[in-house]
Structure 1
Amino acid sequence: MGSSQSKRLKEPSISSSSSHRRSVAPGSSTPTSTSSNNYRTTSAIKSRSSFIRPSTSNTTNNTLSSSCSKQQQLQLQQQQSSSSTHSLTRPPIFTGLQSNSFFLPKNWQAEDADHNLHFALKQLFASNVLSLALPKFIKNACIIELGCHRGSWILDMATQFPECQFIGFDTNLERLPDGLPVLPNVSFQVGNVANGRLPLEDESVDVVNLRAQNSFMDHHAWRRTFEEAHRVLKPGGLIHIIEYNYKPSGSVLIESFTETVRGIMVSLNRDTDRATKLGAQLSSFGFQVIQSISKKVHYGSGEKLGETFTGVSLHRFEEMSSILAPAMGLSLDDYRHRVEMVVAQCVNTNSFLTWYAYLARKVSSTSPPSAGFQV
């Protein structure tokens, strides 16, 4: 998104950016927010002369009256100062790049999104995997990750469990890690389950892991993922999935943009609510869910975790720009600007993202037919 930064105007406030010409819906040109209310309060109290009437008399014959007058004036000054400070110095949760991104993390474009997502999820769930999966990480266990990308999870786990063998798969070489330190128990391969089989023997894997892949997977890709996971897992082997459900709210702009994105995903046979349905879908393919957890992350929590997931959301929309921008009829710059406005409002309204973690055990020797798959 760095390419769009230099082209944007610097507005003085969130409220002014909210009425920018790039609003999502006709009715969203003036979305309400806590920020805009505060700026209106600021303009209302800027002039102190409207609250405090300075004395014009140089002498007085009533000392008590003068004392009371001074005390009242001092009290008024203190009340005004307190009110003014509350409105004028309300600190932003994050240092912004400009008014449209007033609540966005500083320099988020330069951060490694995959690396940040890995450690944010590790902190959110207090581990890299759910607790009931840990007994599987024993000597010579085979652990694979689908959609490993830069390998943050694989490399972290391989360091923690050096006696296990780890294989990371992704759809092309460009997405696989490059130039990272070589670990003897880690390898990376190109593999796309949607278009074929993994280069692995039947019943040869102990754990299959995948995280945050739903944005890139349609119904067919998920069906093939469940089928291949069931094929390569040993009897009693585990599949471990972490996914998020993106349905923020809090302003007209947020909700309009979200519904637009969800509609585009539906047209591509992608289910943005799949995270809430994975338990039932795993059962349809011969897996038994043995552990599941959901966690909410508030964008405007003011904590490092909320800031990290804000950056992750921005990066994810950037990854989807080639699909979403044309579908919305926006240029790339306009799309990026719109995304920043929406995510900034998610922070300002303290909207949240819900993450779901599932751990399921392979319980049947043969995979049920695909017809049992519930989309």
Structure 2
Amino acid sequence: MGKLTATSAKALTAPGRYSDGDGLELLIGRTGAKSWVVRVQKDGKRRDIGAGSFKKVSLAEARVKAVKIRSQIEAGIDPVAERRKARGIPSFREAAALVHAEQKKGWKNGKHTDQWINTLTAYAFPAFGDVSVAGIDAAAVRDVLAAIWLTKPETARRLRQRIRTVIDWSVGKGYREASLAWPVIDKALPKQRAKVKPHPSLPYSELLGFLFKLREKETMGRLALEALILTACRSAEVRGALWPEIDLEAKLWRIPAGRMKGGVDHTIPLCDASVAHFERMKAHKRENNDLVFPGTSKGKSLSDMTLTKLIRDMHAADLKAGGPGFMDPVQNKIATAHGFRSTFADWINEQTSFPREIREAALAHVNQNKVEAAYSRTAYLDKRRPMMEAWAAYCGGSTGGNVVQLVNKSA
């Protein structure tokens, strides 16, 4: 006779594991979701095998499933593998190949296309490549990531994102009931060195959705953020932009060394969308104030917190509307204004064939190689123009049209 009853099982709500006996347990997660698992042991190895959702499988049915699972284990049969065969669920290796085939159609960078699957082949497949994609658990993924988390941090973060893509695809295809507990996996990994701390950024695949929301209203903060995205500039460079720096006829924005992080003059070739955006800003020019994006205080520029709060508010509003919000999927943090430079760089790397030095020039990164820096004194303006036009086209360009009256707030 089992320890649980249908009534007592229904009444349980506290997260934890509740045993019915003979290995059958009711698992309640932190969110309150309930599911049946059967804990079995064979050849000194213990494992949990899912027996269905509490909503769909009754206690009596779970007991029958538990008996079958234990019988299969004793007979040397893997219940999960048998279930996979019956349902046609692919292995992680097979699922990854399908995801790769679907996604590479939209990639222009052949090197990235190869790297995407090669990373999984090198690190994930040896550990659980032949395991049903429905049977991959957080512990297995954590162990794979932990092996290179400190020695190859960048590769580990990319591996994490690619594993997640396969897992989420499997949920979408109905091969899994849910994704993995990524926050739990992150907390279970060792802390990486402090220097590996990129700004949270939005994946470029989600940028168009963000821009659509950004352009729904018009405030000075939103206008500044759109200019930041179109030009791939730093927040301070955009917030401190001055009209004398901008030559719309020549389609150039010359930022003096004193306003640049690297202390070197930086010239930005303005694409058509950026020119239209700055033309639009003329209607908001204030008397005796050369700031392109003036703040609410007279003579003062927008604060960095203005853009930060804007993105946080947009994130909260999107969540409230049932959307996913605007998160960095690797860091599990809300995207930042500076992070859009990473969004730009990732798009250039993965979707175009523009050379690294052209991208670095656009981002105004200082060349740390002193020999290279001594011989490379060009700003690549002519080569950067088509790159920025391509980026603007991806972003959907400027909203154009008539100037809308600014909302009476800065964000």
What's the TM-score bracket when you normalise by the shorter of the two chains?
A: under 0.3
More strand by share: 1
Provide the TM-score with structure 1 as the length reference: 0.27
Provide the TM-score with structure 2 as the length reference: 0.25
